[in-house]
Amino acid sequence: MILQKLDLLHRGKAKDVYRTEDDDLLCIHFRDDLTAGDGTRKGSEEGKGRAAGLISAYLFRYLSDHGIPTHQVEVMGPQDILVKSLSMVPVEVVVRQVAAGSLVKRLGLPAGQVLPRPLVEWYYKRDDLGDPLLAEEHVRLLHLLTDEEMAQIRSLALGIFRLLSQRFKEANLLLVDMKLEFGRHPKEGFLLADEVSPDTCRLWDEETGSSLDKDLFRQGKAPIVPAYREVLHRLGLEE
């Protein structure tokens, strides 16, 4: 399928969304930009968009091959993927299996503590509110998702986490936590959307515990592109 990028529809923190010649398909372009702290800290590294795009495209294919419905249609280039147009769910889902980041700050757990089971959290996608953490009662109160829809998305999120945990383990990487976004397709229901890359996951080397993800930028330990390329290498995508 050969489609061209047309006009820009949306410019996000690190990706651009373009219209294509097919009204049902969009192009997502991965930029070299980096953000942290809800966009309060910004930067850019050459090669970051390419590395994140290649990793995300591979992981979407991997998940699709294992029965997970995703928005990805095909890869248009190392920084561009063709995706199905969706109505995005205004809730981000975070799945955690090791204490890190905000979980440590909120609950006082020791960083690196393995949780007894994967923890699913819900966050309201509202930049003006700082993307607050939601209880399931809040999701119901705001009419963001029904109980049945929450159950569907929870099941999908846990299935995705299990599959990727195993795939990363094969690469000697520990999947600590990850952020997932979903959208509604008029015929196919909920599909995994956005991206799955070191921009949206915490990945630690299983032996040393060193970070190979965007935490390096959050902690002022740039450059991060070598870490992303190491993930590419371990997944067998690039030497």
* pTM recorded for the entire structure: 0.95
129 secondary structure, DSSP code: G
Both tokens assigned to 16 = 């651009």
Residues 6+ apart with CB under 8 A from 121: 93, 94, 95, 96, 133
Residue 208, judged by CB atoms within 10 A of its CB (0-12, 13-18, 19+), counts as: exposed
Q: Could you read off the pLDDT of 125-149 as tens digits, one per residue? A: 999 999 999 999 999 999 999 999 9
Q: What is the pLDDT of residues 174-186, one digit of tens each?
A: 999 999 999 999 9
The CATH architecture to which 8-84 belongs is: 2-Layer Sandwich (3.30)
Q: Report how far residue 157's alpha carbon sits from residue 125's, in angstroms, rounded to the nearest whole number.
A: 17
* pLDDT reported for residue 221: 86
pLDDT at site 39: 67
Q: Which residue ranges does the chain devote to CATH 3.30.200.20?
A: 8-84
pLDDT tens series, the chain, 239 aa: 678 899 999 999 999 999 999 999 999 999 999 998 776 789 999 999 999 999 999 999 999 999 999 999 999 998 999 999 999 999 999 999 999 999 999 999 999 999 999 999 999 999 999 999 999 999 999 999 999 999 999 999 999 999 999 999 999 999 999 999 999 999 999 999 999 999 999 999 999 999 999 999 999 987 999 999 999 999 999 75
CATH 3.30.470.20 in the chain, residues? 87-222
Burial 93-131 (b: 16+ CB within 10 A, else e): bbbbbbbbbebeeeeeeeeeeeeeebebbbbbeeeeeee
Tokens 């963001």 found at: 144
CA distance 2 to 93: 33
d(CA 138, CA 218): 29
DSSP state for residue 67 in the 8-state scheme: T
210 Cβ contact partners less than 8 Å away, ≥ 6 residues apart: 204
Report pLDDT for 36. 85
CATH class (in words) of the domain with range 87-222: alpha beta
> Using an 8 Å Cβ cutoff, are 115 and 99 in contact?
yes
* CA–CA distances in Å: residue 120 to residues 160, 177, 178, 198: 12, 10, 10, 19
Which residues does 112 contact at the CB level (< 8 Å), separation at least 6?
98, 99, 100, 209
Give the integer Cα–Cα distance in Å for 103 and 91. 18
